[in-house]
Structure 1
Amino acid sequence: MDRVIKIDYDALKVDLKKKGYKLTPQRRAIVDTIVDNEGKHLTAEEIYDEVKINCPEIGLATVYRTILLLEEIGIVSRLQLNDGCSRYELVHGDERHRHHHLVCNKCNALIEVEDDLLDELEASIEKQYGFHIVDHSVKFFGICSDCQSKLDE
């Protein structure tokens, strides 16, 4: 299911202003790059490489600072895999929680799971521990179907 991603730049301007920042052309280029590469789970360096194509004057430090700011205001979330890199993806307004991921141990493919199947488990945990859950992050590690079929050959 392909989503049409639209960023409300007016709301982003307001969120940035609350933190004492402006939506500069560099910040907008970074957000546009993340939107244009939706589903690719890019590292900061990969975002920098993409942004630099249309915004050659930008520095890597600006990209890092902007990503941290976007994470702080809830535009992107950080995803840690077993590869030692932080990856970033858009936070979708229609998701109650972050979506889950399947990570292939062979080829490092990253597959998004769109269904949130943990509502019952969350309710049980909240009741048992008196803990209000506001978000969760789930990653399953295994072998993707492509790598499985190569093993069968």
Structure 2
Amino acid sequence: MASIYDFSARTLAGEELPLKRFEGQVLLIVNTASACGFTPQYKGLEALQQKYGARGFSVLGFPCNQFGAQESGSEAQIAQFCSTHYGVSFPMFAKIDVNGAQAHPLYTFLKDEKGGLLGSAIKWNFTKFLVDRSGHVISRHAPTTTPESLAKDIETLL
């Protein structure tokens, strides 16, 4: 059975990072954007990273420009924005597509594992996937779900 460890993605710094590096950790995988109404969720995501990181948890951020062109900046601009405005310390990856023919294979896998209420397509920025220590997708959460509201689920998996 496939897991998220079968994939890799390019970081904002341009290096290919196998997700196998996160094996044994609980993960929250999120498609992000810098100019979205949900962008302040970066604060909550970083709070989760700070609270649970030492216990084997990590947020993985995947910028995406497919929704209202809300992530139009370069990788360097995204990194600067996340650092300056939200002090993001969790891994951020290069901009990807999450839907369509050019969707990153990781997101094709995530959507196949946990479809949404209105089909498997990602509907907007800040859709969240919670992954257990074995690399299996446990749950999918809508953009309106705040990072803070996932703390109990994360603690259960830790």
Scaled by the length of structure 1, the TM-score of the pair is 0.28
Of structures 1 and 2, the larger Rg is shown by: 1
Which one has a larger percent helix, Structure 1 or Structure 2? Answer: 1
Q: Which has the higher contact order (CA 8 A, sep 6+)?
A: 2
TM-score, structure 2 length as denominator?
A: 0.28
